[in-house]
Structure 1
Amino acid sequence: MSTLMNLPVEAVFHASLLTDLDIYLFKQGSHFRLYEKLGSHLITVDGVKGCSFAVWAPNASAISVIGEFNQWEATANALRLRDDGSGIWEGFVADVMVGAGYKYRIVSRDGNIADKGDPFAFCWEMPPLTASRVWELDYAWNDAAWMARRGGKNQLNAPFSIYEVHLGSWRRVPEDGNRFLSYREMAEWLPRYLEEMNFTHVEFMPVTEHPFYGSWGYETTGYFAPTARYGTPQDFMFLVDALHQQGIGVILDWVPAHFPGDAHGLGHFDGTYLYEHADPRQGYQPDWHSSIFNYGRHEVGAFLTSSAMFWLDKYHIDGLRIDAVSSMLYLDFGRKEGEWISNRNGGRENLDAVSFLRHLNEAVYREYPDTQTFAEESTAWPMVSRPVSAGGLGFGLKWNMGWMHDTLRYFSEDPLNRKYHHGQLVFSIWYAFSENFVLPFSHDEVVHGQGSLIGKMPGDEWQQFANLRLLYGYMWGHPGKKLLFMGCEFGQKREWQHDESLEWQVLQYSHHYGLRRWVADLNRFYRSEPALYRQDFSLDGFQWLDCNDAEKSVLSFVRRGLHPNDTVLVVCNFTPVVRENYRVGAPSGGVWHEVLNSDAECYGGSGVGNFGAVEASPVSAGDMYHSLMLHLPPLGVLFLRQGSAS
């Protein structure tokens, strides 16, 4: 075996992929393509084929690379510490092939030895094995048409109807040991299903490599590798490619908030607290029993930002949903008094995390302006989705957790009592335009004993499904982008189980089939109506018709696009009582077509409606000079518009 130290001096120079500029940017925390230089890379040095290895471990006393190519022998391939103060160790090993497993054997200054995976590995062994694997990311993409037009598909005034997916439990193969589908098998099923259901985007729960399947990917060890559970890196590229060819945008859950303490991971990496804080009041997250990144360390910020850029670069990802942003922003998150350290100003804000998030978003939008970042942020932190230049955090969009909680609490009430909780629905408009919001019904609402969405709905089975159709209709009419977790589109009754497939078999029953058809039609209508998305984040796109009828539990409002003819009228009846001759204001006279009715028989409803159209009369109602006399279906929502009914 050859090592860097066995080669001539000139070969040593050429074996290093790092330049002086790389080192300067790395130390400054502004190198956002570190995956091109650190980690393992197959190269040729003076005609010798092999692999360069480079790892950041400034406090180690010795490092060697051990792997299948040297029988895991620690004395075979020692790495050399660069003399530029970067803390990077590097070396070259001849005759290393794609797929070879390896780790870094790190000897700390106190003599302790740890075998660590490569923080920049492109591929890992199949869990529960923990070695990194040498890999190349060559792939012939076939999504040029999507990439050329995705800027229009991903812009803030475009429709976003997002289907959240956990790869291991969307579908399984019961006849083959209940195994989950591979990336390539998913590519056969998922794009067609999303196209059939008219979703615009899919969001994958974290695909980054993680040791514990039950963490769903939120405890990451491999920030530059898709999990090997479902296939190779190229297999995941094939899935993304297939989705793009079907016109579906791909969003990844990405977790820079914390990491697990597994021995082969980032924790105590070089014998010191390198990636995390040493003080547990800053470096340990009690809620998740995991470590918190030290965002004030330049090299850590460069590592994390490089990971984000990596997925946008190498995997053509269209957006990153940043998990647990609240836990990053607040030093006292999940902690009691005395269990946290205040910032330099005496406050609870994590100033280093704020700086990191701002730099991250600036880098993403500078390099990939046709993508988006989404913040899962559940507090009232101001200007999360406003530009850094205006004092914001720089995210494109933010999950509206307040809307989600208020809405589910309202819908869980018996309809007889809803008039006493009317404000829970009306309140959301007071702040609806303070951020660029996504309305999320995610996996978090159907786990840990919470049951399913259909299970939260009151009443008998018919009323439960009517309530859920009404909930989705209200959601699709409300300002904000849409996100729905898998299985919710057909009313899965069982709480989500990550070890089992969704209950696809229930689609043989009319209520479940009708609900799925309703979601597909909602998505189709939503995508075709600029009024429902073009001004999502502007008060100009919304107007109440009547928000005060708490006694009858009815809401009515108008959504508007940029063109005067882009107007949709939405009326929701949150009780099981048919409201006959119910007067609703209309923006103009003429015929208004009932284009969607959640109570239609094809969706499992009772068929109460308005025979397809109603003519507005010159009778004022509220702020409108015209009005419609409608029959409101029980637990139903109506969408009306002028012009063609199709």
Structure 2
Amino acid sequence: MDFLSKKDNFDLDKYLFHQGNHFKAYEFLGAHPEADGNIRFITWAPKADHVQLACNHNDFTGRDMDFEPLGENGLWIYRTAQLSKGDTYKYRIHFDGVSHLKADPYGFYHEKRPNTASIVYLDDFKFTDDAWLEKRRKSNVYQSPISIYEMHLGTWMKHPVSDTGGLTDDELTDLAHYSYREAAKALIPYLTEMNYTHVEFLPLTEYPFDLSWGYQVTGYFSATSRYGNPEGLKFLINELHKAEIGVIMDYVPAHFCRDDHGLRLFDGTPAYEHPDERIADKRQWGTLTFDFGRPEIQSFLVSAAMYWFREFHVDGLRIDAVHSMIDLNFENHEPHEKIYNSDGSETNEGGVEFLKKLNTAVFDYDQSLLMMAEDSSDTPMVTSPVDKGGLGFNFKWDLGWMHDRLSYMDKDFSHRDYFHNRMTFSLAYKYNENYVLPLSHDEVVHGKKSIVGKMYGDQWQQFAQARLLYGSQMSEPGKQLLFMGQEIGMYHEWKDREQVDWHLLDYPDHQNLKKYVRDLNRFYRTHEEFYRADYEPEGFRWLVVDDAEHSIFSYTRNAGKKFKICILNYRPDVYHDFKIPVPYPGTYREIFNSDSTEYSGSGVVNDGRHFSFAERHIREDQHIKVTVAPLAFHVFEIETNSDGGMKNDV
């Protein structure tokens, strides 16, 4: 943050802000040091009778620090030389004879919970990640490998705390937390070892309640103080970039928490939330929905997103709960609860238009950024450009893929033939959107079990199926995401107060699953067939799709003339001399096998060369005979000559 406030009449700022088109509103509103030594405060409280600055100098009463109106549309301004960097403050908002203390919605830094004041903050951090940014801007995100490690910074790894006498729960939690800077030392070597291309953090914006995981925000422009100051987070991102690891952050414009010091009834009336209580009330989460159609809210939310791109150099945002933003009846299932537009539709038009504006602004700024929608609806064209009628995201989580895979793999092996189509259905709509295949935190918490725990069978079968699932995720069209702890085979679901069960790495099965995920990520990144044509139909071709009797699937992944053959067996049976159709005559070799003993598999592998037979099988004129391992993921490739042509000699 290298900008200083300028004294002027703010006419352009005011105009853009009230039009909903001020995408750097954080440079205008909030607390800003000025060149003459003053701190300038501007806030928006359109229905307020009066606004005061509450701070240590007036015992947070607001006395003698009165704002003046800045124009006629609810902006207020105050300048003082009595505060400096590091001082805490709130706004005392007066309305209808009552006053409330509010944190600064545009504050860059806030006190650590349970305290709630904003902090005057300005840093001079200098990023040194130009090489990364240049490489990113020259890349094609759709044709690049993207393997994401999703994590919650507070519970990935913790310091041991032995002396707990007299400490509150919050104090104990804070002692155990790694700071942003400490996380950089531990996390970056791990992500590098595991060959991930990106890390995705659950929200790091400020929030009051630990167990909301950051999804109930109070400070949209503030890095949470749980792990240090904003400069610490910039350091972490800068170091990740220097290690060539992209950074995605969860961003939550769908709703906000009801805490008194936050945005709720900010000026005594619904300023940030929708004025219709039926629309505002998010009963499921106990939160409030933004008034997306209000121009000043659009300026606020778009600016918040742009802030993380511009000032923190994040590479992408994952937008949480998109379905709740675009559906008026997201939670209304009974007839008497339904809300309709004047034309009888149920679309939250304000939410739709806001998302279009958000994505347009982001990609006008930088086409190489990632905007990922977590959307559980069947709304079409989520990842289509705005000018073609879409919402404008460039990626969407494929929640259907995730649910189908997990619901199939908890079934008794002998019953899987009845559910065979669950494994093929997602491929029927695969090219409707640009999908990410997620195995996220949502699926390993609140009684849902861990990934290993979801798998049917005994312990060996569970681990084998976890390897198989991850192989399926890697090899199917779409980018991929895995939540922390699932790469080492945690038995427990995510314990959102405790760290990952790293002690499990003392045991071979867990060590070897970690090794498998490491090698799978490396295999993915070094074979472009698995990522270059994720969103082009020619990148995928079924070979075996209807074999419900054996629960075997096979397909090719293609990049131009290059291809790999994937074979997946969802039963604990070994099949010898099993025919797999192949698209070309030649000799084939197995190059990856999840059943290898180094991954705690049974060791059913295919050594040597496998010659194709000129005999039609299923839909191809050639086939090979292989041994299919139990609950395993195999990859074969055709041998090539030095000129790149395919070998078909014996």
Q: Same fold (TM over 0.5)?
A: yes
What CA distance in whole angstroms lies between the structure 2 residues aligned with 1:19 and 1:637? 62
Determine the structure 2 residue equivalent to 1:11: none
Give TM-score, length-normalised by structure 1.
0.95
Any idea what the Cα deviations from partners look like across 1:51-99, whole Å, max 9, x if unmatched? 10000001101111111344424122111012x3231100111042211
What CA distance in whole angstroms lies between the structure 2 residues aligned with 1:15 and 1:55? 16
Letter of the 2:222 partner, please give it.
A
Determine the structure 2 residue equivalent to 1:131: 117
Determine the structure 1 residue equivalent to 2:77: 90
Determine the structure 2 residue equivalent to 1:531: 529
Letter of the 1:285 partner, please give it.
K
8 A contact 1:16–1:52 mirrored in 2: no
| Alignment pair present for 1:206 and 2:203 | yes
1:599 is aligned, of 582, 595, 599, to: 595
TM-fit CA distance, 1:443: 0.4
Q: Name the SS for the 1:119 alignment partner.
A: coil
What CA distance in whole angstroms lies between the structure 2 residues aligned with 1:476 and 1:415? 23
More moved, 141-150 vs 64-73: 64-73
What CA distance in whole angstroms lies between the structure 2 residues aligned with 1:73 and 1:553? 70
Any idea what the Cα deviations from partners look like across 1:187-246, whole Å, max 9, x if unmatched? 001111111101110100000000001000000000001100000000000110111111
| Alignment pair present for 1:293 and 2:290 | yes
1:577 is aligned, of 573, 592, 598, to: 573
Q: How does 1:530-569 map to 2 (within 5 A)?
A: 530-561=528-559, 563-564=560-561, 566-569=562-565
Determine the structure 2 residue equivalent to 1:10: none
What CA distance in whole angstroms lies between the structure 1 residues aligned with 2:140 and 2:197? 10
| Alignment pair present for 1:77 and 2:65 | yes
Q: How does 1:214-253 map to 2 (within 5 A)?
A: 214-253=211-250
Compared with structure 1, are the counterparts of its residues 189 and 50 closer, same or farther at alpha carbon in structure 2 (3 Å cutoff)? same
Give TM-score, length-normalised by structure 2.
0.94
TM-fit CA distance, 1:175: 3.7
| Alignment pair present for 1:33 and 2:24 | yes
Letter of the 2:318 partner, please give it.
R
More moved, 582-591 vs 464-473: 582-591
Q: Name the SS for the 1:123 alignment partner.
A: coil
Determine the structure 1 residue equivalent to 2:413: 415
TM-fit CA distance, 1:137: 3.4
Compared with structure 1, are the counterparts of its residues 310 and 612 closer, same or farther at alpha carbon in structure 2 (3 Å cutoff)? farther
What CA distance in whole angstroms lies between the structure 1 residues aligned with 2:558 and 2:399? 24
Any idea what the Cα deviations from partners look like across 1:450-497, whole Å, max 9, x if unmatched? 111110111111111001111111111111110000001111111111
Letter of the 1:532 partner, please give it.
F
TM-fit CA distance, 1:155: 1.1
Determine the structure 2 residue equivalent to 1:6: none
Q: Name the SS for the 2:35 alignment partner.
A: strand
Q: Name the SS for the 2:34 alignment partner.
A: strand
TM-fit CA distance, 1:329: 0.8
8 A contact 1:151–1:369 mirrored in 2: yes
8 A contact 1:34–1:302 mirrored in 2: yes
TM-fit CA distance, 1:612: 4.8
TM-fit CA distance, 1:154: 6.2
Q: How does 1:459-498 map to 2 (within 5 A)?
A: 459-498=457-496
What CA distance in whole angstroms lies between the structure 1 residues aligned with 2:111 and 2:150? 26
Letter of the 2:102 partner, please give it.
K
| Alignment pair present for 1:192 and 2:198 | no
What CA distance in whole angstroms lies between the structure 1 residues aligned with 2:370 and 2:62? 44
| Alignment pair present for 1:147 and 2:133 | yes
| Alignment pair present for 1:64 and 2:52 | yes
8 A contact 1:18–1:37 mirrored in 2: no
8 A contact 1:154–1:371 mirrored in 2: no
Determine the structure 1 residue equivalent to 2:165: none
What CA distance in whole angstroms lies between the structure 2 residues aligned with 1:151 and 1:513? 37
| Alignment pair present for 1:353 and 2:351 | yes
What CA distance in whole angstroms lies between the structure 1 residues aligned with 2:33 and 2:531? 47
8 A contact 1:154–1:372 mirrored in 2: no
Q: Name the SS for the 1:242 alignment partner.
A: helix
Q: How does 1:357-396 map to 2 (within 5 A)?
A: 357-396=355-394
Letter of the 1:171 partner, please give it.
M
Q: What is the aligned-residue identity percentage?
A: 43
Q: Name the SS for the 2:188 alignment partner.
A: helix
What CA distance in whole angstroms lies between the structure 2 residues aligned with 1:340 and 1:210? 31
TM-fit CA distance, 1:15: 6.4
What CA distance in whole angstroms lies between the structure 2 residues aligned with 1:462 and 1:175? 35
1:619 is aligned, of 615, 619, 623, to: 615
Determine the structure 2 residue equivalent to 1:19: 10
What CA distance in whole angstroms lies between the structure 2 residues aligned with 1:428 and 1:149? 33
Aligned length: 625
Letter of the 1:270 partner, please give it.
D
Any idea what the Cα deviations from partners look like across 1:92-148, whole Å, max 9, x if unmatched? 11042211110000101x111100000000000011100000001321112111011
1:100 is aligned, of 72, 87, 90, to: 87
What CA distance in whole angstroms lies between the structure 2 residues aligned with 1:358 and 1:186? 35
Compared with structure 1, are the counterparts of its residues 576 and 15 closer, same or farther at alpha carbon in structure 2 (3 Å cutoff)? closer
Compared with structure 1, are the counterparts of its residues 438 and 152 closer, same or farther at alpha carbon in structure 2 (3 Å cutoff)? farther
Determine the structure 2 residue equivalent to 1:337: 335
8 A contact 2:204–2:249 mirrored in 1: yes
What CA distance in whole angstroms lies between the structure 1 residues aligned with 2:537 and 2:231? 44
Q: Name the SS for the 2:336 alignment partner.
A: coil
| Alignment pair present for 1:304 and 2:291 | no
Compared with structure 1, are the counterparts of its residues 112 and 477 closer, same or farther at alpha carbon in structure 2 (3 Å cutoff)? same
Q: Name the SS for the 1:86 alignment partner.
A: coil
Determine the structure 1 residue equivalent to 2:647: none
Any idea what the Cα deviations from partners look like across 1:261-281, whole Å, max 9, x if unmatched? 100000000011001122211
Q: Name the SS for the 2:409 alignment partner.
A: helix
TM-fit CA distance, 1:615: 2.5
2:101 is aligned, of 101, 115, 118, to: 115
8 A contact 1:38–1:120 mirrored in 2: yes
The structure 1 segments of at least 4 consecutive aligned residues displaced by more than 6 Å after TM superposition are none
8 A contact 2:202–2:250 mirrored in 1: yes
Compared with structure 1, are the counterparts of its residues 636 and 323 closer, same or farther at alpha carbon in structure 2 (3 Å cutoff)? same
Unpaired segments of 5 or more residues in structure 1?
1-13
What CA distance in whole angstroms lies between the structure 2 residues aligned with 1:152 and 1:493? 41
Determine the structure 1 residue equivalent to 2:277: 280
Compared with structure 1, are the counterparts of its residues 620 and 573 closer, same or farther at alpha carbon in structure 2 (3 Å cutoff)? same
TM-fit CA distance, 1:613: 3.8
Determine the structure 2 residue equivalent to 1:442: 440
Compared with structure 1, are the counterparts of its residues 34 and 625 closer, same or farther at alpha carbon in structure 2 (3 Å cutoff)? same
More moved, 172-181 vs 282-291: 172-181
Determine the structure 1 residue equivalent to 2:155: 169
What CA distance in whole angstroms lies between the structure 2 residues aligned with 1:302 and 1:340? 29
Any idea what the Cα deviations from partners look like across 1:335-373, whole Å, max 9, x if unmatched? 233334312322110011100000100000001212010
TM-fit CA distance, 1:528: 1.1
What CA distance in whole angstroms lies between the structure 1 residues aligned with 2:574 and 2:400? 30
Any idea what the Cα deviations from partners look like across 1:601-646, whole Å, max 9, x if unmatched? 000001001115422232322222221100000000101113489x
Q: Name the SS for the 2:38 alignment partner.
A: strand
TM-fit CA distance, 1:588: 1.5
What CA distance in whole angstroms lies between the structure 1 residues aligned with 2:6 and 2:398? 49
